[in-house]
Amino acid sequence: MGLLDPIAGFGVTFKTMFRKTFTQAYPEAPKVTAPRFHGRHQLNRWPDGLEKCVGCELCAWACPADAIYVEGASNRDEERFSPGERYGRVYQINYLRCILCGLCIEACPTRALTMTNEFELADDSRQKLIYEKSDLLAPLLPGMTAPPHERQLGDSERAYFLGLPETRPVDLPQGTGNPNLGLAGWKDKKKKAKAEAELARKGAAVAPAVDGGDVPAEHTQGVRE
Ligand code: SF4
Ligand code: SF4
């Protein structure tokens, strides 16, 4: 052991002594978690209260702990729970299995599933740790109506989806681009320029899209900035 080693050891002590302390009074006061802490899941809603979950089961397939159980069902015009064709009729997360890894929320295509900062999940029975859809659904905010009900679009479909690309196909020349992404689907600049020229020849003006891609101007009407 060198002569200066004890001093170096005390150096760590002294450095820590003068650091600003961060004391939490948990459980008397709520514990402050890191902003991206992985806590209890939440099933989100669209602004009109319809559910974002489309019952696709991708979250269940992505889960390494087999903690999610989903049963999808078809929406009907007179009984609509989500904007698309399908919704999650049964949705369960088993917190006895869940390791809060977050792979399920990465897999979700509609951002229906996210994680909150809530971590107090302990309970006194195994049954209570299987969360049902009703336990996981986000609360209804002002302006939302509990489903089932018709989709309340607002000014346009794009306004409803808060700036995401519209779901209806863009009128692109055959064999060019991804019809759901518009010209944003092109990675090859030459092919994109060719598609733009073709659109211009057909008289469709091209306007920049909110998400950074290009879509014909008539598809951007009524978009809220
Ligand atoms: S957080 Fe991980 S373990 Fe928990 S349900 Fe999602 S994928 Fe499964
Ligand atoms: S939460 Fe997302 S991934 Fe899971 S079933 Fe619903 S839409 Fe699909």
Atom of ligand 1 nearest to the CA of 115: 1
Per-residue pLDDT of the chain (225 residues; tens, 9 = 90+): 677 888 888 888 888 888 988 888 999 998 888 989 999 999 999 988 999 999 999 999 999 999 999 999 999 989 999 998 999 999 999 999 999 999 999 999 999 999 999 999 999 999 999 999 999 999 999 888 999 999 887 777 777 776 554 554 445 444 444 433 444 444 566 666 776 776 676 654 443 333 333 433 333 333 333
Second-level CATH architecture of 40-162:
2-Layer Sandwich (3.30)
108 CB within 6 A, ligand 1: no
Task: Establish whether residue 67 lines the binding site of ligand 1, counting it when its CB lies within 6 angstroms of any ligand atom.
Answer: yes
**What is the distance, to the nearest Å, from the Cα of residue 149 to the centroid of all Cα atoms in its chain?**
22
Cβ(98) – ligand 1 distance below 6 Å: yes
Please report the pLDDT score of residue 47 as a whole number: 85
CA–CA distances in Å: residue 70 to residues 18, 42, 88, 107, 194: 52, 14, 7, 14, 44
Residue whose CB lies within 8 A of the most ligand 2 atoms, among 51, 56, 87, 106, for a mutation test: 56
Of 148, 144, 168, 143, the residue nearest 156 (C-alpha): 168
Residue 108 assigned ligand-binding role:
yes
Q: Could you give the angle at the alpha carbon of 107 between the alpha carbons of 88 and 176, nearest 5°?
A: 100
Atom of ligand 1 nearest to the CA of 105: 6
Nearest-CA residue for atom 4 of ligand 1: 98
Residue with CA closest to ligand 1 atom 1? 100
pLDDT value, residue 32: 86
Residue-level pLDDT at 225: 30
Q: Does residue 63's CB lie within 6 angstroms of at least one atom of ligand 2?
A: no
Distance 156 CA to ligand 2 centre (A): 24
Q: Which of 57, 66, 82, 90 to mutate to test the pocket of ligand 2 (most atoms within 8 A of CB)?
A: 57
Closest CA to 197 of 218, 176, 181: 176
**88 CB under 6 A from ligand 2?**
yes
β-pair type (68-74, 86-94): antiparallel
Query: Distance between CA atoms of 122 and 74, rounded to whole angstroms?
Result: 34
Does the beta carbon of 93 lie inside 6 Å of ligand 2? no
> What's the pLDDT score for residue 179?
38
Residue 59 marked ligand-binding: yes
Cis ω on the peptide bond leading into residue 27 (within 30° of 0)?
Answer: yes
Q: For the chain, give every domain's residue range.
A: 40-162
